[in-house]
Amino acid sequence: MFLFVAIYCINLQAQREYLPTEEDLKVFHKTKTYIVLEDNPMSEYNFEITDAIKNYWTITPYEFIEYDEFEKKATDPSASFLYTATVMFEKDKSQTRYVFLCLSLGGEYPSMDEMKDIVNIPVSYYGVEPEHYTYKLGTMVNFMQKHVEMITENPDMISQNIFKEYNDNMSAIHDKTLYLIEDEIEKSIRSEARIKAEYPYDFKLVTREEVKEAIMDKDKDVVFLHKVGPEGKKFNARVYKILIGAGDSNFYYFDYHKVKLRKPDALLKRDLKKLGRARD
């Protein structure tokens, strides 16, 4: 669903570009979803995705499977799969790799690379320590199923910019507390006074632990920044900026930019200004 020409590598190498159809969505709702775990049984991802599914997943029956079962079951048209994939964009000369959380349909495809995507979300830059993002998996899983329900009811909304539809909710964050982690925002605005000059609503500079606590508490008054970028290592790489409700798992803002000299790997001053000026 995430809507860009990409190369997915789950020990796989291929191009695929796909938007779900109404028929795909009908098929999905009749499937059993297999949650693909990583090879390492002690991985942080496995613990967090297990909790996320048990706490949130209601849209289809589900079952956890080991990674080596994925390929065997992938041809089953009555199955869907939730898994992580390493993504590299076809026209990206920086060859930057990202990790996406993907929800796809099983079936008889020429290869697993051509599985039909229902939705996928960027979760991290490849190589980032898992503890930087795994605590957010519950909100992402909950968002994914709510998103699928929305496009099932409103299939005319399916487009290559579908996540930007959520920017219509931008002004709703003015009634909430915006949680920002200092090293994820542009250096020129890394102070409360400078943030307030662009965003005159309630916000708080927090630690990752405080974001995690808000998510665990399902705090409906908190919106947090989910940033995915190359951690300052590459120019021309994409930086995704998503604002997610800790309690409701809604997206309130979605955008991305490419890292340049004056556009660092961070939430930019221009993003904050846009959020501050948002109107109903």
Could you write out the three-class secondary structure of 123-170? EEECCCCHHHCHHHHHHHHHHHHHHHHHHHHCHHHCCCCHHHHHHHHH
The β-bridge partners of 177 are 222
Segment 55-60 shows an average pLDDT of 96
Mean pLDDT on 252-268 = 93
Above 80 in pLDDT, residue 88?
A: no
What is the mean predicted confidence (pLDDT) over 79-98? 82
The model's pLDDT over 28-37, given as tens digits with 9 standing for 90+, comes to: 999 999 999 9
Pair 123, 101: CB distance under 8 Å: yes
User: Mean of the per-residue pLDDT values for the chain?
Assistant: 89
Please report, rounded to a whole number, the percentage of residues in the chain having pLDDT higher than 70: 91
pLDDT score recorded for residue 13: 36
Q: Where are the domains of the chain?
A: 6-157, 162-277
Q: Which of 95, 80, 257 lies closest to 186 in space, CA to CA?
A: 257
